[in-house]
């Protein structure tokens, strides 16, 4: 004799008659229902209060700076009088620096498009989701692959004589190759570098190049996009 089930699947849409809900937790579940998430606190007041303080601190700092630092205003716009150099806003000066080296279609269109596409697809590459160190496994295959990529990249950059891109690239490439030869117990920096996964190195390279190009474009470029020293 089988016992009658105490529940049954219902498809009724009457909220008053069907108040009971069953939750099925499948293997691929969202983080929300995963077991241990640590201690939780109420958003009100813990988050709201902190955000309110952050807003006040930000406003005070902004007002203090805005009181003394004047926004620039030059002469009335004159299409017949071209300043030399004509510079874009600072966040586009990295792009302008690229245009100095590469053909317009590459520096102005292809590279920015690739950067945006790369940023969008980052989370959809489910490779190495645990963030395993680059040199943790299969070193014999990975090392020549990394060396090959670096050499190919540098060859292209040298062909275009893009020196302000080459400098940060060499620096980061040196770091990634050097970290292969580090062993435990060589200090905290060595341990840190050894534990870095590939995405970390790629993003660090991107930030290093973007930062260098922006700083050079802002401070080190003068008439005709020639190299100048800002303190002279």
Partner 1 sequence: MATTWTQQTLNHLRRTRAWKSIFRRGPARTNRTRSLAIFGNIFLHVLPVKVREKSLRLRATYYLGSFSFFLFVVLTVTGVLLMFYYHPAVPEAYRDMKDLRFVVANGVFLRNLHRLAAQVMVAAVFWHMFHVFFRGGYKPPHEFNWVVGVGLLLVTLFLSYTGYLLPWDQLAFWAITVGTNIISYVPILGHPIRFLLLGGNIIGENALLRFYVLHCVILPLAAVILIAVHFWRIQKDGGLTVREDHERKG
**Which residues contact partner 1 by CB under 8 A?**
30-32, 34, 36-48, 50-51, 54-55, 58-59, 62-63, 65-67, 69-79, 81-83, 86-92, 95-96, 99, 104-105, 108-109, 116, 119-120, 122-124, 126, 129, 131, 199-200, 203, 207
What does each C-alpha distance from 145 to 148, 152, 153 come to in angstroms? 5, 11, 12
Local structure of 19: helix, strand or coil:
coil
User: CB of residue 60 vs partner 1: minimum separation in angstroms?
Assistant: 12
Identity of the residue, 16 or 86, whose beta carbon is nearer to partner 1 in the bound complex: 86
Q: Which is nearer to partner 1, 11 or 44 (CB)?
A: 44
| Nearest approach, Cβ of residue 224 and partner 1 (Å) | 14
Report residue 123: phi and psi, to 5°: -70, -15
d(C-alpha 170, C-alpha 151), whole Å: 10
CA-wise closest residue to 153 among 177, 135, 121: 177
- In angstroms, what is the minimal distance from the CB of 79 to partner 1? 7
Instruction: Give dist(CA 180, CA 40) in Å, integer.
Output: 40
Round to whole Å and give the CA distance between 25 and 33: 8
Nearer to partner 1, 10 or 45 (CB): 45
Between 140 and 224, name the residue whose CB sits nearer to partner 1. 224
CB of 203 to partner 1, least distance (A): 6
CB of 82 to partner 1, least distance (A): 7
Distance CA 171, CA 163 (A): 12
């Amino acid at each position: 004799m089988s016992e009658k089930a105490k529940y049954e699947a219902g498809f009724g849409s009457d909220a008053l008659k069907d108040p009971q809900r069953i939750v099925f937790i499948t293997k691929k579940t969202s983080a929300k229902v995963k077991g241990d998430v640590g201690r939780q606190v109420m958003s009100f007041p813990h988050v709201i209060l902190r955000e309110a303080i952050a807003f006040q601190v930000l406003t005070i700092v902004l007002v203090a700076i805005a009181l003394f630092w004047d926004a620039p205003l030059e002469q009335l716009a004159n299409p017949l009088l071209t300043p030399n150099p004509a510079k874009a806003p600072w966040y586009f000066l990295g792009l302008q620096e690229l245009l100095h080296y590469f053909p317009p279609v590459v520096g102005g269109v292809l590279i920015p498009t690739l950067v945006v596409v790369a940023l969008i697809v980052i989370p959809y590459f489910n490779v190495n989701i645990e963030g395993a160190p680059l040199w943790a496994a299969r070193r014999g295959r990975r090392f020549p692959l990394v060396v090959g990529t670096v050499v190919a990249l540098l060859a292209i950059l040298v062909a275009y004589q893009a020196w302000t891109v080459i400098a940060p690239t060499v620096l980061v490439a040196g770091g990634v190759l050097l970290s292969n030869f580090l062993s435990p117990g060589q200090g905290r920096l060595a341990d840190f570098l050894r534990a870095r996964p590939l995405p970390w190195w790629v993003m660090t390279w991107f930030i290093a190049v973007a930062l260098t190009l922006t700083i050079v474009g802002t401070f080190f470029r003068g008439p005709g996009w020639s190299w100048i020293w800002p303190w002279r």
